[in-house]
Every structure is written in C-alpha cells, then in structure tokens.
Structure 1
Amino acid sequence: MKYNSSKLLFCSIALCASSITVYAQKPVVNAQVSKAMEQASAAQLKKDITYLADDKLKGRQPGTEGYQMAADYVIERLKAYNVQPAGEKGGWLQQVKLRKAFIAPGAQVSLAKGTANTTLTYGRDVTITPSPVNAGGSVDAPLVFAGYGITNAGQKYDDYAGIDVKGKAVLIVRGAPEAFPSSEASHSMDQITLQKNAAAHGAVAVILATVDTSRRFISNMNRPYYSVLDEQGKVTVSGTYSAQIKMLGTFNYGIVSKLMQSAGKNVADVVAALKSGKPQSVDLGSKLKATFASTYQDVNSFNVVGKVSGSDAKLKNEYVIHSAHLDHLGIGRPVEGDSLYNGAHDNASGVASLLQIANIYSQVKVKPKRSILFVAVTGEELGELGSGYFAAHPTVPVKSLVADVNTDMPTIIAPLLSVTALGAEHSSLSKVVDQAAASMDLTVEPDPEPKENRFVRSDQYSFVKQGIPALHIKYGSRTPDGKNNLNELVGKWRAKYYHKPQDDINGMFDFDAGAKYARLNFLIGYLVANNPARPEWNKGDIFEVK
C-alpha cells in the first residue's frame, strides 16, 4: 500500500498540535508549580558548569582534591536551595571505597590442540582483566565458541542451546542480534551480564573475541580496573568483573581467526550469521591454559546525597531519585597539547541540571507526596561504580526507592525540541515522559543511536539492575529549521569534544536549552513523586522483577 506523504505529514502535525492543546487546557501541574519551573536559571546553570569544569578542579577524578572541591560546591548549592543532607550518619556523604586492580607482569597464556601448544604473547595476542577478588588466578579448560553468549527467552534466542560449557572457557563476540530492541541488546551484551550467564551455564572463564581487523587491540598491562569495597572490605560492585568466573580476557583478531579456521569457520561468516539471529556455537577443540596475578590500590571517594521531604504522611517515606555523576577523567593523555580533562558537558552540565531541579523544588510551596533524593555519584567514568553502590546500599531503605531520573551529558548545544528517554520504554515511566514532554511542547523519539549502547553506559543502569525503574533523558533530533538532523551536529560535537580535554566551558553550549532540560527532568520526577501508584515494569519485560 502506498501512502500520500503530504497527507501523512499533515495528519501527524495535526495530531501533535491536538495533543499539545489538550495539555495546555489541562496542565499537568498547578500554576504555582509551573511558576516555580520557570525559576530554572540558564545564567546560574552556566555559572555552575563554569566552576565545576574549571582548571583548578583538575578534571574531578575520584580521590583527588579537585573531586572534593566539586563535592563541596554541590553541597553549598544544595544548602542554598534548602535541600537537607541524606547521606551516612546524618551528613551529606556516602563513603565509596574504590579498588584499583592491575594485572601483574608475568601473565602466561597458551592454547593447546592435540599435541600442539601455542604460547600467546601478552599484550599482543591476549589481555586479561584483573580480578578485584582473587590476587592469583589460573585456568585450564577446554575452549568453546558461544556466539554472543546471550540467553534471552523473550527474544527466543540462546547461544548456549545445544552446547555443553560446564567447566569450560567460552569465547564470545560482544554484540547482539540486529532484531533485538536497542536497550535490550545493550543489557544482553553488558560484560557482567555475559559473565553471569556464562557462569549460570557452568563456564569457568569468558574470553571476548576481537572480530574486526580495523579495531585496535589495546593492551591493559598497566591499565587499572575499578570496583567498590563494602564496609567489610569485600568487593560489592564491579563494572567489569564477576566473581562467578575465574578469568575474563580478550583475544586479538589473529588468534580468533585461527581458532575459527581450526573449527571450519570463517570469522566474517560467523559474525554475519550472528547478526541475523542465527547462533553459531561450536566446540573449538582447543584447551586454554592461563596463570596470572592481580595487584591492588585502594582509593577513598564518596557520593553526595541530599533530600527534599515529601508532603504525604505515608508516601514521604518513598523516594524518587535525581542522579548525576560528579566525577570525570582527571589529567590524562594530552590531546592538542592539553592534558586536563575538564568535563564541562560530561558531566558538569548534568550536575548543574541537578542543581536547577533543586532550585525549582525550593520554589515549590507544597512538595510532592514522595520525597526527592539528589544523588551526585562518584566513579561513573570507572564503570558506574558510585551509582552501583548507592543502588545496592542506599542511605535510605532500599525498598523505598521507586524510580531514578538520571542526568548525564545532556549535550546542550542546540535548542531543545525533542528528547529520547533511554530505558523508559521498559516501564510505566514512558507514559510519564510522554505526558511531561507534551506539556512542554516536546516530542519523544526512539533512540537515534542504538548502536552506541547508551542505555547501559550511565548511572540509570545501576538502578535498573536492582529492579528500580529508571531512565535517562537525551536529546532528540528535531531542529528549528525542520531538517531534524540534530544527531549530525551531535556526532561532530562528540568527535571533537567527547572525553577530550577540549570539553571545557569554551565549547558549544545552549544554556537556555539546559534550563529547559532541567525543567523537563524536574517535571518527570515530580509527576512520579505525586502519583500514589509506584512505577511498574511492563509485563513480561526483560527487567520485570519476578
């Protein structure tokens, strides 16, 4: 059937206008709250970003004086907005002890097939992720190729169907079938998810396969990997390593290709089949042997936690969280002669948005039924560690957390006309986003960059893994000229600024858009906090708490 595109466009515009008119006639908040929302200040947002991204904070790396300065600033701003401390022992902070783990020199890895034994060169052929749990490690196990390493009943896909991996090492390609929804694909290929699934099938080691010849294989010989220790000194959160397996490593393309050839497979054909949703698991007929050791350094950091108490006698004991990560990359590899990673967009802008949400709440006379938590977390750049610790060990009862609205690098470089709500589609939060966005004349779009795996790459994912509905608002593609290609500008911005020293206050900014972004995030949280019903996962969703 053919459609008349001009008629379709007219209908879409008419429907959109109708929707906006409806919300204009029936506001989602009262006049006093609407007036308070207008107090979100573009000028103050700019001041906050300017301070948090100043050179004197030296990139806000956890455990440094610069991070402490950033935290002190945030606390003073929250106090100015009448936010109360909600950290440990009645204070503003939640201590987060970070463990840096390194692979010690001397790791030995080999592959045996029949009587042939091949020694792999560490740093060229293979790398190993250090264990934050076991200082010494060894593996001696048959090697099996397990495709993507995914088991997903909802998508009727299982790489482990028909193969026995008990007591074996599995070689896995990071990815997911193209038919998977974007956030579901991101969750499925998360390193912790992959390791837990492998362990559930009896595997003792996971090896990630490099299957693209153009991909640079980087040795992690001297690279630290971070985890969080609990009060007893045990690892409680890790962004990369699961204690359920003995080894997590990576093989370069050359080794992967030889292993595939020995099993009668071609890497390109295997990858193409996996993308189409056809499992390719096979016994590789080789045995993996490895011995290695990990060394540790511990770093003290913390989350900043504040609250606005709710107005309902019962529901005030439940909490809606507004989160944003306070840390950035510190001082690192020079780019164009600059080695100080200021992190103005990532994530001084997100923290500044958090502060403007607090500003709005300071102007709201009657607070919502539920209480609001403001959580500026540490260690996002190290693997979402501060949020992971807070979500698992909050400073309020864990069952009292009802939702998280996360703010990470909103990319405020152009007028805000549309948004993408990463993760909202999995729960009733999607309806709240639609309602809030429509009331502000914003359209809601699907993720324009599903291959970026943005859903699992920020702090909202920590809450999702704990069964708490969460979302992260990002820019959509609408532009004032109607070309609706903002993602092209964002792509150019990312190439020049993202995770580079050039991300400072002198870069591209639209502070009015930043204030509007803060209003939207406030409104989403406010509507959730005022609804007597908690947000719920969609029935049958991959994240539904059974």
Structure 2
Amino acid sequence: MVLSRLLPASLLLGLSLTSCQTRPVATAAAPAPTATAETTTVPAPAVPAEAISAASISKYLQAVSSDSMLGRKPFTTGEERITTYLAAQFAKLGLKPGVVEMNYSGVTNSFFQSVPLVEITGTPSSTLQIKGKGQALSLQYKTDFVAFTQREQAEVKVTNSPLVFAGYGVVAPEYGWNDYAGLDVKGKTVVVLVNDPGNASQDSTLFKGRAMTYYGRWTYKYEEAARHGAAGVLIVHDTKPAAYPWSVVLSGAIGPKLRAQTENKGADKCALEGWLTLDAAKKLFQAAGLSYDKLYAAANTKGFKPRPLGGLTLTGSIQNKLLRKTSRNVLAVLPGTTRPNEYIIYSAHWDHFGVGKAIAGDSIYNGAVDDGTGLASLLSIAEAFQQAKQKPERSIVFLAVTAEEQGLLGSAYYAQHPPFPLNKTVADLNMDMLWPYGPMKDLTVIGYGQSELEDYARAAAKAQDRYLLPDQTPETGMFYRSDHFNFAHVGVPSLYASGGFESRTGGKATIAQHRQNYTTNMYHKPADQFDPSWNLTGIAQDAQLYFRVGQRLASETTFPKWREGSEFKGAREKSTGGK
C-alpha cells in the first residue's frame, strides 16, 4: 500500500471506540447503505470450500512473504523471484498467459507485461533561496522543504522563478472552481494547499465536503501545475487536512524513486516538485508581506483569486542519478465460455520495499499484510475459479502489478497499455492489505457511493451475514491510493473493500487495537512478516466474497455503472460510446 495510506493510529482507535453502539450511516451524497439490489438477482454458485480457506490463504501468504522473496522490490532479485513464482502458480492452475507479444521470432504468449520505469535518485540543493523585497530567506532541506523531479535529467534547476499562490491548485469546471483563473504561471513556481476546498474547510457545500476528491491528491496538483507550464510546484503540508505528519512526507521523498519512462523523458512535468512545512510557508508569506491565515481563508471561498507572492523568487536545483530498467506486471486469464471478449479483473500489487535499513536486527521488508494478503487472495480466487464446476461466461483476468508503493505505476501502465480493451472490461476488483485478525461483521467499501459494484458487494456480504459500511474516513482519500484508482481513472468501475471495522468475536475496539499496533509497529517495516498466530479466516471470508462478486458479474450480460455524480462516469461513457 502506498506510503501515507493509513490513518494515524490514535485516529483509528478513536473512530472505533466512539461509535461502538451504532453502525455509521452513509453520507447524503451516497445511496443509503441499507438499500439493496440482491433481492432481484440469483445468488452465485457456492464457493468451493476447499479452494478458498484460511489454509489456502496461509499457504500462499507464507510463500509470497518469505525471506527468500527478499522484500519483493522492483529492479531486484526479489522482483525476479516473486514474478517467477506468480507466473508458475498461474501456469500450475491451468490459466492462460495474459500477454501476446510480437517479436523477431513471431508471436509469443507470456505471463509478463513489460513496464519500463526509471529510477531517479535525486539530491536537492541544501537550501531553497528566496529573494525579493530587499530581503532573503533560506529554506532548509528536510527541515523546511523536500523536493524531487520526474524529469529524466542529470540536473534540474529553477533560477529566480517568481513565486505565486494558487490556492488549492484546482481547476474543476463541474464545481465552478478555477484556482488558476487569470494567472500566467509559465516559468513560475506555484505554491498550493494540501487537499481540496471542501475537505480542508469541512464545508459540505464545496466539492464533496468532508470526502476528498481526486483534486485533493498531491499527484493531481503536480499534474495541473505542469499543464499550466509552471517551472515548480510546492504543496503546503498541514497535518490535519493531509491526515499524516511531516515525517511521512519526509520518508516518502528521500531516496530513489521509480517513475514511468516517457517518450519526452518527463519534459512535460514541472522541473521541481515538492512540499513545504506549514511553518516554512508562513515564513514565506510573511516575507512577501502577506498573511498566510487570511489567504488560506480566501482560498476556501468560491471566487478565490490567485496572486503573486509579493515579488519573491525561488532558486533551487536537484542533482539526479538515473537508472532505466524494465519491471513487469504478471497477468493470467481464464477465458470465458460464452463471452470471452468481456473481462473481469482481479488485481493486487506484488511489490514492497526489499532489503533496507535494519530494525531490531531484521532488514527484510517482507510485506506480509501489505500486500502479501492481496496476492494470497488473488491466487486463492484463481484456484476457486478453476475448481468451480460452472466456469465463468466472461473471461477472468488475474493481475499482479508492480511498483504500487512507488505511486501506482504498474496499474497505471496497464491502464494506458491494456492487453484487454477497457471498454470491454466489466470491472476491477482490487485487494490491498487485508486484515489477518479473524472474521469481520462489516465489509467496508472505500469510496462508497461511486458505482453499482457496491450493490454486488452488499448482496455477497449479506450472504455472509455481514453489513456494508461506507468508508469511515473519506477525508483521507483512500479511494485514490491503491491500484483500483487507475482503472477508475480510465472509466472502469472498481471495487476496493474488505472487513476491518468490527471483529465478529472482539467487536470494534479489538480490531481498532490490532490496526493501531500494525500502523505503529509494522506498517512499511520489517515487522510486517507472516505470523503463525494470525487468524486468516477473515481474509478467506473477503476472498470468498470477491469470488462471488466475480461469479455474478461473469454470469450477467450487463455492465455495472458509475453512479450519478461520480467523477469517473464521463471517462466510462467516452470509452463505451455513451453506453
């Protein structure tokens, strides 16, 4: 799971303990969670019990998260081992290779989709120099700012670049919002706020209120600044709207970063991307003779006008070491019996952080929960489809993607270079970080209110005597932080759900404590390794539910739709010609 995905442990625990007696209800913008569609459908055939069980999950989980996999980092021996293992398991299950490639020897079939990436190891200048108004300000690397680049150059420089403040850096016509209105930022460095106006201000009349939209993601802000020709873009970090501390920003910015290789070598990106601490931003505004608090308030008001930062300029640089290599997605297909040219995708990411800094004498970052649990479920579901007496009418694609931890790069590449047509792809069912703490009463849907896939999930949950629960922390933008997002972004309805709020045996407080411990002591650390004491029945339960959803989708002739108001509805209509 991408860095910063989890909530602070204290918030996780607090959310559970403050609502122990009632089930939360959906927000006004989403359909009520009690509305059901399952009464009009025929239940899918039963899951073969021997195929998806705690035992099958354990078998695969131990294999993919073992020390021999060396932490599954792209560009390492760990990548070679995990991708070879996954391909071998798909072949053993009798699945077909998912990639057809043309080469000098003719047509070949492969389980591997090549994903060209570049590793950029950047060393920013020790300071960002701010000048203007007869005074100078020197911002310190790591203490005041972090910086990086997506340009594939040995060095990038921003010299005497005028600084401008563009609110949240958002252009959202559907909300009547344009933070760049009337502002020419070509060659300039844009300072923007974290998150989006509705989320940060908690104003239910702006955007989607507390629920973050894609406009609140840092990736979007970098993209939008580049579209306007900015030389640099710096996001002001504020812990509350960001939902993670500066230490998370810092750890994610330091060290080698993988990026997608592009034909123009990142020339269309801003030369400098980065973050400012809140304190540094306030100093910057003060140096410009402006009040940060007043401009922050203005930026949360419709009709905000961007403005220059008092004639200040910025100078900084980044020295880069570049390594271009090819990673790979692993994909297999079970052809459909009657509609083989329509596809249902099950996805999980295979990558983690490899071998790194030793903690308590352990240097292998095994990634058992993140995302060994998703891989184990992926393989168990594939096994279940092969053992089912009734084979699917639509084709089932099993996809293990690379470089999720580096910014969802493998799934982004698949979405831009799909081996199977996107307009014939029924849905993506994504699995990332399933909880090994026993069976759950809930099925929490991240990004609740987006698509009709929730109705399928609700029906399958009801069959397990579980209730559907909307995302309890929509302000963190979880929907945009795992691989399903890249499918949603190109219009494919996507489901990202799992149990993790109310333990069937221990209630809400027990699961909150487990998750707090994981967040504090295991997340993205060597301690995230297989534990024989784990109760994997809850993961098996989630995998069975996903299996049933896939079976039902495979037996239908219709395609699930995005709900009205979803930002992904337009992309789907465009790809399918409005159908």
Q: TM-score range by the shorter chain?
A: 0.7 to 0.9
Match of 1:297 among 298, 310, 323: 323
Question: Bigger shift: 206-215 or 380-389?
Answer: 206-215
What CA distance in whole angstroms lies between the structure 2 residues aligned with 1:319 and 1:182? 34
Task: Provide the secondary structure at the position in 1 that maps to 2:235.
Answer: strand
Q: Is the 8 A contact 1:131 1:294 kept in 2?
A: no
Cα distance per residue 1:206-244 (max 9 Å; x no partner): 1122345973473888611211236xx665xxxxx8834
Q: Which residue of 1 aligns with 2:531?
A: 506
Q: CA deviation at 1:363?
A: 1.8
Q: CA deviation at 1:50?
A: 1.0
Match of 1:44 among 45, 52, 56: 56
Q: CA deviation at 1:361?
A: 0.4
Q: Which residue of 1 aligns with 2:281?
A: 256
Q: Is the 8 A contact 1:129 1:220 kept in 2?
A: no
Task: Provide the secondary structure at the position in 2 that maps to 1:333.
Answer: strand
Q: Which residue of 2 aligns with 1:5?
A: none
Q: Which residue of 1 aligns with 2:313?
A: 287
Letter in 1 for 2:56: Q
User: Do residues 403 (structure 1) and 427 (structure 2) align?
Assistant: yes
| CA separation of 1:277 and 1:57: change in aligned 2, threshold 3 A | farther
Match of 2:148 among 122, 126, 129: 129
Q: CA deviation at 1:79?
A: 2.5
Match of 2:333 among 304, 307, 315: 307
| CA separation of 1:539 and 1:16: change in aligned 2, threshold 3 A | closer
Q: Which residue of 1 aligns with 2:410?
A: 386
Q: Which residue of 2 aligns with 1:208?
A: 235
What CA distance in whole angstroms lies between the structure 1 residues aligned with 2:418 and 2:62? 30
User: Do residues 523 (structure 1) and 548 (structure 2) align?
Assistant: yes
User: Do residues 95 (structure 1) and 121 (structure 2) align?
Assistant: no
Task: Provide the secondary structure at the position in 1 that maps to 2:501.
Answer: coil
Q: Is the 8 A contact 1:460 1:470 kept in 2?
A: yes
Match of 1:70 among 71, 82, 90: 82
Cα distance per residue 1:312-350 (max 9 Å; x no partner): 1xx311211101111111111222232211111111111
Task: Provide the secondary structure at the position in 2 that maps to 1:185.
Answer: coil
Q: Which residue of 2 aligns with 1:143?
A: 163
| CA separation of 1:500 and 1:278: change in aligned 2, threshold 3 A | farther
What CA distance in whole angstroms lies between the structure 2 residues aligned with 1:211 and 1:347? 28
What CA distance in whole angstroms lies between the structure 2 residues aligned with 1:322 and 1:422? 16
Q: CA deviation at 1:158?
A: 4.0
Question: Bigger shift: 477-486 or 316-325?
Answer: 477-486
CA RMSD of aligned residues (A): 3.5
User: Do residues 229 (structure 1) and 261 (structure 2) align?
Assistant: yes
Q: CA deviation at 1:157?
A: 4.2
Q: Is the 8 A contact 1:320 1:403 kept in 2?
A: yes
| CA separation of 1:471 and 1:182: change in aligned 2, threshold 3 A | farther
Task: Give identity over the alignment, percent.
Answer: 30
Taking structure 1 as the reference length, the TM-score comes to 0.85
Cα distance per residue 1:377-410 (max 9 Å; x no partner): 1111111111111111122334332321111111
Q: CA deviation at 1:420?
A: 1.6
Q: CA deviation at 1:109?
A: 3.6
1:330-345 alignment runs, 5 A limit: 330-345=354-369
Cα distance per residue 1:433-484 (max 9 Å; x no partner): 2222223222111112334432222111121222222121132422336843
Q: Is the 8 A contact 1:418 1:442 kept in 2?
A: yes
Q: Is the 8 A contact 1:146 1:172 kept in 2?
A: yes
What CA distance in whole angstroms lies between the structure 2 residues aligned with 1:268 and 1:254? 12
User: Do residues 320 (structure 1) and 344 (structure 2) align?
Assistant: yes
Number of aligned residues: 524
What CA distance in whole angstroms lies between the structure 2 residues aligned with 1:98 and 1:18? 44
Match of 1:354 among 374, 378, 392: 378
Q: Which residue of 1 aligns with 2:98?
A: 86
Q: Is the 8 A contact 2:70 2:355 kept in 1?
A: yes
Task: Provide the secondary structure at the position in 1 that maps to 2:72.
Answer: coil
1:438-517 alignment runs, 5 A limit: 438-480=462-504, 483-485=507-509, 486-506=511-531, 509-517=534-542
Cα distance per residue 1:128-168 (max 9 Å; x no partner): 21234344433343211222222334445443356554543
Q: Which residue of 1 aligns with 2:456?
A: 432
What CA distance in whole angstroms lies between the structure 1 residues aligned with 2:416 and 2:518? 35
Q: Is the 8 A contact 1:347 1:409 kept in 2?
A: yes
Letter in 2 for 1:98: L
Letter in 2 for 1:54: S
User: Do residues 190 (structure 1) and 217 (structure 2) align?
Assistant: yes
What CA distance in whole angstroms lies between the structure 2 residues aligned with 1:16 and 1:390? 32
What CA distance in whole angstroms lies between the structure 2 residues aligned with 1:508 and 1:282? 57
Task: Provide the secondary structure at the position in 1 that maps to 2:552.
Answer: helix
What CA distance in whole angstroms lies between the structure 2 residues aligned with 1:102 and 1:69? 24
What CA distance in whole angstroms lies between the structure 2 residues aligned with 1:183 and 1:368? 40
| CA separation of 1:529 and 1:479: change in aligned 2, threshold 3 A | same
Match of 1:110 among 110, 129, 138: 129
Q: Is the 8 A contact 2:211 2:474 kept in 1?
A: no
Q: Which residue of 2 aligns with 1:170?
A: 190
Question: Bigger shift: 33-42 or 91-100?
Answer: 33-42
Q: Which residue of 2 aligns with 1:3?
A: none
Task: Provide the secondary structure at the position in 2 that maps to 1:141.
Answer: strand
Taking structure 2 as the reference length, the TM-score comes to 0.81
Q: CA deviation at 1:275?
A: 6.8
Q: Which residue of 2 aligns with 1:28?
A: 43
Task: Provide the secondary structure at the position in 2 that maps to 1:318.
Answer: strand
Q: Is the 8 A contact 2:151 2:267 kept in 1?
A: no
Q: CA deviation at 1:277?
A: 7.8
